[in-house]
Chains A and B, each alone.
Chain A
């Protein structure tokens, strides 16, 4: 099973907004509104940031938002802060009743 494609790295200055893309196919991202995003700091377990394309779990900052168009989902971080520096992974449910992760994006706060 293939992996979802993300940019290797994205950077921005404090206060700026950045967007991370996640490209799949009509069998995963494009076929279902079951895209989620995870934040992972070094040596730590991933943390759920966005689910079902655009919903935030309780406790997650509203600076994080998600969207989807066709086979590409996006995560936007607005008002970038130093603590946002981490790896971010998208995930999608697939037509095979399985799940697939993205290749991951390293976010650097300049």
Chain B
């Protein structure tokens, strides 16, 4: 079955960077897009960006344009999200989600990775 397994929780200091991974299985990785969504404590979901796992093209939310980088390693069926210049407001659970080709919904999600930014 389709699975998206994310890396574990991280604690980072303000100003540092974090890189979260999302390993896919159960489907052909390069055929789908992978999106990243975050949720701060008690807050709503926030879309961050996406990558076409086939050609590597990306698109980012303006809210994170200068700080987020999404990449993928097709040989490892893994997508990555790196967020730089971390601040306390970036403390959140970060999710990856799959998006089938030719459609727009996020049909499978990872389990989430908690990133805590604290000095």
Footprint of B on A, CB under 8 Å? 1, 3, 32, 34, 36, 38, 40, 45-48, 51-52, 57, 89, 91, 93, 96-104
Residue of A nearest to B6 (CB): A45
Cβ-based interface call for B35 (8 A): yes
Contact A46 B109 (CB under 8 A): yes
Contact B47 A99 (CB under 8 A): yes
Which listed residue (A36, A97, A98, A103) contacts B106, Cβ 8 A?
A: A36
Which listed residue (A1, A40, A45, A51) contacts B104, Cβ 8 A?
A: A51
6 additional A-B residue pairs with CB within 8 Å, beyond A93-B104, A98-B47, A101-B44:
A36-B104, A38-B45, A46-B45, A91-B45, A101-B37, A104-B44
Contact A89 B44 (CB under 8 A): yes
A86 to B4, CA, bound (A): 22
